[in-house]
Amino acid sequence: MELLVKISEMASRSTNILSRASRIRQKLQSALEASSLEIEDVSYQHAGHAAVKGDANETHFNIKLVSPKFDGQSLVKRHRMVYDLLADELKTGLHAVSIVAKTPQESGMSKS
């Protein structure tokens, strides 16, 4: 019985082999076709806060991204798009993200 529990625990951990930062990168890159994406783990700045339990890591991130999918979208809508993509992460330990979301034109990356 104990062996089955260990195998089950190992299997559940193997689905999360990628770091949270890597999973965030994959989700945002594929869904938003980001031309620029910077993800900075700033969890160390929040160590000891009440919401950060134990030695939890990868709980706080700064995200800067440029996407053509933000064209015509308000800042609130852009943030909602990012939060919707990160919903699973927010349910499993991600505590906070700081988001800078720009269009290619706003970032100076447009080809025009």
Q: Under 8 Å CB-to-CB from 78, ≥6 apart: which residues?
A: 70, 99, 101
Handedness of CA 87, 88, 89, 92 (dihedral sign): positive
User: 83 pLDDT exceeds 60?
Assistant: yes
The CATH-assigned architecture of domain 19-107 is 2-Layer Sandwich (3.30)
What was the pLDDT predicted at 35? 95
Distance between CA atoms of residues 41 and 66, nearest Å: 18
- CA angle at residue 14 from 13 to 17, to 5 degrees? 95
Q: What's the confidence (pLDDT) of residue 8? A: 45
Mean pLDDT of 29-53: 81
Q: What is the DSSP letter of 96?
A: E
Q: CA–CA separation, 45 vs 106, rounded Å?
A: 29
Structural element, H or E, at residue 100: strand 96-102
CA–CA gap between residue 101 and residue 73 (Å, rounded): 10
More confident: 45 or 101: 101
Check residue 58 and give its pLDDT. Answer: 82
**How do beta strands 36-41 and 60-66 pair?**
antiparallel
In this prediction, residues 61-71 reach a mean pLDDT of 97
The pLDDT of residue 97 is: 95
Q: Would you list the domain boundaries of the chain? A: 19-107
Q: Structure pTM?
A: 0.75
